[in-house]
C-alpha cells in the first residue's frame, strides 16, 4: 500500500495527500508533519517495510471537510484519494485521486454565506490583460479585458477577493495569491453553450483554460457552470481598491463588515441576495437608464409596504438554491439539501403571484422568469422522507411506497420472522408433515428440517432439495425459502444500497433542471435586493435621487448613512451640498474633528448609493451620473513597498489627475500635509489649478492651508466646518457653512486633548509671532480661471491621419510639430 502511495505522491509534490484507509484519511511523511501542526493532530508512526517508522496522522472521513477547509485556508493544496474498489474484496484496495482542493476550488461547506469564493485565470497579451473568474460553489463565471497596467489588475483581483489564479506559466507572481500553472484551451462540445455570450478570442482562451483547470482538479464534469458573462469595465464606476477601503464600502479598517456601507444595506433575506448586493456595491452603474430601472423597482416596493413585507417573508423561507443546485450537479448534495430545494421551490409560485399583483411592467418581467419547477417539488416530495439523515449511504432517506422492491425489502426486514412462521405453517399444511420445522444456522442458512419418522412423506413434487443429513433428521431447502433467505440476510445491505441508488436517480433527474434553478435564484436575488433597498430606505427616511446632465450636485439636508446609524439620532447634524453651478471645486476648511472628512465621505456614499439603485439619505438629491471616483483620505504608509505616507499620497493624487474626467468625482482630504508646509501648500495649489484647468472634475478638497482660500474664483468655492469658540474652549457645530474658515483651531483642539498648559501657552505665543510676520502675504495669490485656447500644434494634429503616414512621414511630421512647439 505504501508503494502505491509513494507512486501517487510523485505527481502531487506540491500538495498534502489525504489517503483514504477505512474510516480515516491518513497523511504520511512530510505531509503528516505539516498537517499535524496545522490541524493540531497527534503525529504517530507506522511500520511499513522501511528502516524507520513512517510518520503519519489522520482524520475521520465523515469530518474531513472541516480539516480540508482549514488546510486550504492556511495556503495548502489538498489531494483527496478515495478507495475505488470494495474494501471487503480480497487483495489490495484500488485507490485514486477524486478531487484536488485549492484556495480557489474550495467548495463552500457552509450554505447561506453571502460572499463568493472566486478563482481566477489570467491571460497576458501584448496590450491587455484578460481575467476570467468563477465561483465553483455557485457556478458563476465572468471575464473581462483590462488595460495592460499592473495596478488595474491588482485592483481588480483585490476587489474580487481572488485567492488563486491559473496562469499558463509560473513567471507571474502576485502577493497573497496562489499562482497555479496550467494550460489546456480545448473546449469540449458539452461546454460550448456556456461560451455563447463571448466572442473575444483572448477571453475564450482564458475562460477555457480556467474551465479545464476546474474540471481537472475536481475530477468530474461541471455542467452546472453558468453561461460566461463578459464584464465591461466601461459599464461601471471606476474605483481603485484604496478608494473602496477609504470609503469603507464592504470592509472597515479592521477588515470587518461592521460600520461599512454593506453592513448598513445588507438586510437581505437570502444568501443569493447578499452576494448580489456586494457585487452591486463593488460595481455601481454608469448607465442612467439602468439606474432609473433599479430605482423604479425599489420605488414599487417603497409604495407598497404590505406587499413588500409579504415578499421578504417569502424570500426568508428560500434557502441558498444557487449553491444547492451546484451541489446537485457537483455530486455532493445530501437528502436534507434536496428537501431544502423542495421547500424553497414551493415558495416560487407564491412569490410570482405576489409580484404580478403589484402590476408593474418591469416587475412583471422579473416575475415571468420565475418558471414552474413543480416537477422537482413532486419528485422530492414523493421520494425523500420529511426529516432525512445527513448520511446518504446508510438508508432511511426514501419514503415508503416510492419503490416496490424497496418496500418488499423493508417488509422482509420488518416481517422476516413472521414470514418464516407463516411459511412453516403453510408447508405443514401443504405436505401433511406435522413434525416439519424451519431452522437456521450460520453455515447452511435457513432450512426445512424433517425428522426420520416423517421422511417417507417427502415427495418429489414438494421441490425439496437435500441440504444436510443428521442422525435423526434431514434438512432441505426450497427455491422459495432460499430466495427469502437471500432477501432476509441481505435486506439491510440491499436496502442501504438501493436507497442510495434511488437517491442518485432523483439527484440525476434534478440535475437536468440545474440551470433553471440557477435562473430562478438570480431573480430571487434581484427581488431580494430591491425589496431590501426599499426596507432600508423606508426605515431610514431616504429619498429617490434625480439625475442631471449639467454636472450639478444639489443635496438638501444630506446625511452620512453610516455615521447617523451609530450616533444618537437627535445629535446628527444634516448638511446641504451644492456644487457645479458656479464652481466645480469645493475647498473645505475648518478645525480637525469638525466634520470635513465625514462631509466628503457622505457625498461619496450618496453618489455610490444612488448609482447602485438605492434611495439616498437626504431631503432631496440631484446628482450627475459619475464615471469614476478618486479619493485620497487618511494617512497610510506602504511599508512593504518602502513608500512613505507622502509618497502614497502623491501616487494616489497622480491617479486622479491622470484618469479623472469631467464626469468624475474627486475627494482629496488634506493633500500635501505629509511634507514641509510650503512644499505641501505649493503642491496643493498646483493640484487644485490642474484639476480646474485640465480634469474639470467635481472635486471636494479639504485643507488646513488657509492661504489656499484666496484662490476662490470661477472654479473654486469656499466652505468651512463651523465651530464655536467661547471662553477659550471650542465646540464643534458639524455644520458646513459658506465661505472660508478664519483659522484651524488647532491649539483649541490640542487644549481639548488636555496637552500640558505650558505647551498650549507656548504654541499660542509662537502662532501670534508667525501671524505678525504676515507669512500669508508672501504667497502668490492666483485666481484660477481655466484658459482654453487651441494652439497651432493642436490644429495641425487635427488634420493628420496617422494611419495614412509612412514611418518616414511620421518622423518628419513629428520633427515639424516639435519645431512649432
270 annotated as belonging to a binding site for a ligand: no
Per-residue model confidence as pLDDT tens digits over 92-139: 899 999 999 999 998 765 666 888 999 999 999 999 999 999 999 999
pTM assigned to the model: 0.84
Q: Is 616 helix (H, G, I), strand (E, B) or coil?
A: strand
Which range, 447-456, 472-481, 529-538, is most confident?
529-538
Q: Report pLDDT digits (tens) over 183-196.
A: 999 999 999 999 99
Highest mean pLDDT pick, 48-62, 617-631, 639-653? 617-631
What grid cell was written down for 33?
508533519
Tens of pLDDT, residue by residue over 787-810, are 456 678 887 888 888 878 888 888
Q: What one-character-per-residue DSSP string does 283-334 give?
A: S-B--HHHHHHHHHHHHHHHH-HHHHHHHHHHHHT---HHHHHHHHHHT---
Specify the pLDDT at position 751.
72
The answer to whether the annotation marks 595 as part of a ligand binding site is yes
Count CB neighbours of 448 within 10 A: 24
Q: How confident is the model at residue 48 (pLDDT cuts 50, 70, 90)?
A: confident
Residue 593 annotated as lining a ligand binding site: yes
Q: Is 624 known as a binding-site position?
A: no
Q: Which of 49, 20, 48, 18 is nearest to 31 (CA)?
A: 18
Choose the most confident range, by mean pLDDT, from 456-470, 545-559, 638-652. 545-559
For residue 234, the model assigns a pLDDT of 93
Domain ranges within the chain, ordered by starting residue: 2-101, 118-231, 287-373+513-539, 404-492, 546-778, 789-821
Q: Looking at residues 290-312, what average pLDDT do you find?
A: 97
Count CA within 13 A, CB hemisphere, residue 432.
5
pLDDT average, residue stretch 37-60: 90
What band does 288 get if pLDDT is binned at 50, 70 and 90?
very high
Max mean pLDDT range (414-423, 541-550, 579-588, 651-660): 541-550
Query: What's the CATH fold of domain 287-373+513-539?
Result: MutS, DNA mismatch repair protein; Chain A, domain 3 (1.10.1420)
Q: Which residue has the higher pLDDT, 701 or 748?
A: 701
Give pLDDT, residue 260: 96
578 annotated as a binding-site residue: no
Q: Establish whether 558 is an annotated binding residue.
A: no
Residue corresponding to grid cell 432523483: 506
Residue 532 has a pLDDT of: 98
Q: Please tell me the CATH superfamily of domain 2-101, with its number.
A: DNA repair protein MutS, domain I (3.40.1170.10)
Measured between alpha carbons, how far is 635 from 630 in angstroms, rounded to an integer?
Answer: 15
Rounded distance between C-alpha atoms, residue 781 and residue 709, angstroms: 10
The pLDDT tens digits for 375-432 are 999 999 999 999 999 889 888 999 999 999 999 888 888 888 888 999 999 999 999 9
What contacts 404, CB < 8 A, 6 or more positions away?
none
pLDDT at 600: 95
Mean pLDDT of 271-284: 97
Q: What is the pLDDT of residues 575-608, one digit of tens each?
A: 999 999 889 999 999 887 778 899 999 999 999 9
Q: How many C-beta atoms lie closer than 10 Å to residue 414's C-beta?
A: 11
CA atoms of 131 and 128, how far apart (whole Å): 10
Largest CA distance in the chain: 138
Determine the Cα–Cα distance for residues 777 and 326; give it in Å rounded to an integer. Answer: 70
User: Using CA of residue 377, residue 381, residue 386, residue 391, what is the dihedral sign?
Assistant: negative
> The C-alpha cell of 787 is what?
484658459
Q: How sure is the predictor about 774, in pLDDT bands with cuts at 50, 70 and 90?
A: low
Of 776, 324, 770, 257, nearest in space to 514 by CA = 324
What's the whole-number average pLDDT of the chain?
89
> What is the pLDDT averaged over residues 338-365?
97
CA nearest to 298, candidates 614, 581, 7: 614
User: Out of 139-143, 162-166, 736-740, 747-751, which region has the weakest mean confidence (pLDDT)?
Assistant: 747-751
Pick the CATH number of 404-492 from 1.20.1070.10, 3.30.530.20, 3.40.50.2000, 1.10.1420.10: 1.10.1420.10
Q: Which triple of cell numbers denotes residue 547? A: 439625475
727 — pLDDT class (breaks 50, 70, 90): low
> What pLDDT score does 640 carry?
38
Is the per-residue pLDDT at 677 higher than 90? no
Axis-axis angle for helices 335-357, 514-539 (nearest 10): 60
Superfamily of domain 118-231: MutS, connector domain (3.30.420.110)
- CA 488, 489, 492, 494 torsion-angle sign: negative
**Percent of the chain with pLDDT strictly greater than 70:** 93
pLDDT for residue 780 is more than 70: no
Q: For residue 129, what are the β-bridge partners?
A: 124, 146
Rounded mean pLDDT, 330-339: 94
> Could you report the per-residue pLDDT of 485-535, keeping only the tens digit for each?
887 887 878 899 999 999 999 999 999 999 999 999 999 999 999 999 999
Q: What is the predicted pLDDT for the residue at 786?
A: 47
User: Which H helix or E strand runs over 8?
Assistant: helix 2-9
Task: Decide which of 107 and 7 is more confident.
Answer: 7
Residue in the structure block whose three cell numbers are 457625498: 603
The mean per-residue pLDDT over the stretch 560-580 comes to 90
8 Å CB contact between 494 and 409: yes
Q: Quick check: helix, strand or coil at residue 611?
A: helix
pLDDT at site 445: 87
- Nearest in space to 394 (alpha carbons), one of 483, 290, 497: 497
Q: End-to-end CA distance of the chain: give it in Å, rounded.
A: 80
Q: What is the pLDDT of residues 182-240, one digit of tens each?
A: 999 999 999 999 999 999 999 999 999 999 999 999 999 999 999 999 999 999 999 99
pLDDT band at residue 653 under the 50/70/90 scheme: confident
CATH of the domain spanning 546-778:
3.40.50.300
Count Cβ atoms below 10 Å from residue 586 Cβ, excluding itself: 24
pLDDT at 455 over 90: yes
Is the fold of 2-101 the same as that of 404-492? no
Between CA 345 and CA 518 the distance in angstroms is 12
C-alpha cell, 557: 439636508
Amino acid at each position: 500500500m505504501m508503494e502505491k502511495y509513494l507512486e501517487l505522491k510523485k505527481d502531487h509534490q506540491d500538495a498534502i495527500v489525504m489517503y483514504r484507509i477505512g474510516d480515516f484519511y491518513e497523511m504520511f511523511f512530510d505531509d503528516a508533519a505539516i498537517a499535524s501542526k496545522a490541524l493540531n493532530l497527534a503525529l504517530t508512526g507506522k511500520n511499513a517495510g522501511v528502516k524507520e517508522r513512517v510518520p503519519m496522522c489522520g482524520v475521520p472521513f465523515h469530518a474531513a471537510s472541516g480539516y480540508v477547509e482549514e488546510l486550504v485556508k492556511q495556503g495548502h493544496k489538498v489531494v483527496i484519494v478515495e478507495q475505488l474498489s470494495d474494501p471487503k474484496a480480497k487483495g489490495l484496495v484500488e485507490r485514486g485521486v477524486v478531487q484536488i482542493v485549492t484556495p480557489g476550488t474550495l467548495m463552500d461547506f457552509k450554505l447561506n454565506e453571502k460572499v463568493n469564493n472566486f478563482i481566477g485565470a489570467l491571460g497576458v497579451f501584448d496590450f491587455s490583460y484578460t481575467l476570467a473568474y468563477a465561483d465553483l460553489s455557485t457556478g458563476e463565471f465572468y471575464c473581462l479585458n483590462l488595460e495592460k497596467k499592473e495596478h488595474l489588475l491588482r485592483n481588480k483581483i483585490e476587489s474580487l477577493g481572488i485567492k488563486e489564479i491559473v496562469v499558463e506559466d509560473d513567471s507571474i507572481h502576485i502577493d497573497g495569491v496562489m499562482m497555479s500553472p496550467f494550460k489546456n484551451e480545448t473546449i469540449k462540445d458539452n461546454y460550448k453553450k456556456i461560451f455563447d455570450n463571448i466572442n473575444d478570442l483572448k477571453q475564450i482562451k482564458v475562460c477555457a483554460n480556467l474551465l479545464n483547470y476546474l474540471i481537472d482538479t475536481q475530477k468530474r464534469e461541471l455542467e452546472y457552470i453558468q453561461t460566461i458573462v463578459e464584464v465591461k469595465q466601461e459599464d461601471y464606476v471606476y474605483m481603485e481598491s484604496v478608494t473602496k477601503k477609504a470609503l469603507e464600502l464592504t470592509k472597515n479598517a479592521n477588515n470587518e463588515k461592521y460600520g461599512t456601507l454593506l453592513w448598513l444595506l445588507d438586510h437581505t433575506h437570502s444568501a443569493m441576495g447578499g452576494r448580489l448586493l456586494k457585487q452591486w456595491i463593488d460595481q455601481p452603474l454608469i448607465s442612467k437608464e439602468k439606474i432609473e430601472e433599479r430605482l423604479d423597482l425599489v420605488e414599487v416596493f417603497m409604495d407598497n409596504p404590505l406587499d413588500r413585507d409579504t415578499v421578504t417573508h417569502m424570500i426568508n423561507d428560500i434557502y441558498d438554491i444557487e449553491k444547492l443546485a451546484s451541489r446537485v450537479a457537483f455530486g455532493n448534495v445530501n437528502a436534507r439539501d434536496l428537501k431544502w430545494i423542495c421547500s424553497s421551490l414551493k415558495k416560487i409560485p407564491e412569490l410570482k403571484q405576489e409580484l404580478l399583483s403589484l402590476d408593474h411592467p418591469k416587475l412583471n418581467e422579473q416575475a415571468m422568469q420565475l418558471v414552474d419547477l413543480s416537477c422537482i417539488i413532486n419528485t422530492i416530495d414523493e421520494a425523500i422522507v420529511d426529516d432525512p439523515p445527513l448520511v446518504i449511504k446508510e438508508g432511511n432517506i426514501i419514503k415508503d411506497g416510492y419503490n416496490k422492491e424497496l418496500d418488499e425489502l423493508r417488509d422482509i426486514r420488518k416481517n422476516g420472522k413472521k414470514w418464516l412462521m407463516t411459511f412453516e405453517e403453510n408447508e405443514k399444511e401443504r405436505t401433511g408433515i406435522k413434525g416439519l420445522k424451519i431452522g437456521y444456522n450460520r453455515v447452511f442458512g435457513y432450512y426445512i428440517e424433517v425428522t426420520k419418522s416423517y421422511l417417507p412423506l417427502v415427495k418429489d413434487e414438494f421441490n425439496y432439495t437435500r441440504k444436510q443429513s443428521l442422525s435423526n433428521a434431514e434438512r432441505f431447502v426450497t427455491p422459495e425459502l432460499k430466495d427469502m433467505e437471500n432477501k432476509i440476510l441481505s435486506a439491510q445491505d440491499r436496502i442501504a444500497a438501493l436507497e442510495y441508488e434511488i437517491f442518485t436517480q432523483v439527484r440525476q433527474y434534478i440535475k437536468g433542471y440545474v440551470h433553471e434553478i440557477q435562473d430562478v435564484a438570480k431573480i430571487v436575488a434581484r427581488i431580494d435586493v430591491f425589496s431590501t433597498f426599499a426596507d432600508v430606505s423606508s426605515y431610514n427616511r431616504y429619498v429617490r435621487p434625480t439625475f442631471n446632465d449639467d454636472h450639478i450636485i444639489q443635496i438638501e439636508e444630506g446625511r452620512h448613512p453610516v455615521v447617523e446609524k451609530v450616533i444618537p439620532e437627535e445629535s446628527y447634524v444634516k448638511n446641504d451640498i451644492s456644487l457645479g453651478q458656479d464652481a466645480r471645486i469645493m475647498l473645505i476648511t475648518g478645525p480637525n474633528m469638525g466634520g470635513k472628512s465625514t462631509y466628503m465621505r457622505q457625498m461619496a456614499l450618496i453618489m455610490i448609493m444612488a448609482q447602485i439603485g438605492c434611495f439616498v439619505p437626504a431631503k432631496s438629491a440631484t446628482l450627475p451620473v459619475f464615471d469614476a471616483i478618486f479619493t485620497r483620505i487618511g494617512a497610510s504608509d506602504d511599508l512593504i513597498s518602502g513608500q512613505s505616507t507622502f509618497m502614497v499620497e502623491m501616487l494616489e493624487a497622480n491617479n486622479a489627475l491622470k484618469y479623472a474626467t469631467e464626469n468624475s468625482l474627486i475627494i482629496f482630504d488634506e493633500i500635501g500635509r505629509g511634507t514641509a508646509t510650503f512644499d505641501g501648500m505649493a503642491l496643493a495649489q498646483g493640484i487644485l489649478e490642474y484639476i480646474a484647468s485640465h480634469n474639470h472634475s467635481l472635486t471636494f478638497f479639504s485643507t488646513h492651508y488657509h492661504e489656499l482660500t484666496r484662490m476662490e474664483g470661477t472654479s473654486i468655492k469656499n466652505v468651512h466646518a463651523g465651530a464655536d469658540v467661547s471662553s477659550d474652549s471650542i465646540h464643534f457645530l458639524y455644520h458646513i457653512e459658506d465661505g472660508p474658515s478664519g483659522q484651524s483651531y488647532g491649539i483649541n483642539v490640542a487644549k481639548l486633548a488636555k496637552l500640558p498648559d505650558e505647551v498650549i501657552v507656548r504654541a499660542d505665543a509662537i502662532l501670534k509671532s508667525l501671524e505678525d510676520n504676515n507669512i500669508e502675504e508672501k504667497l502668490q495669490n492666483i485666481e484660477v480661471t481655466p484658459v482654453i485656447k487651441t494652439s497651432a500644434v493642436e490644429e495641425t494634429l487635427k488634420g493628420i491621419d496617422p494611419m495614412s503616414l509612412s514611418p518616414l512621414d511620421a518622423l518628419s511630421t513629428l520633427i515639424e510639430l516639435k519645431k512649432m512647439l
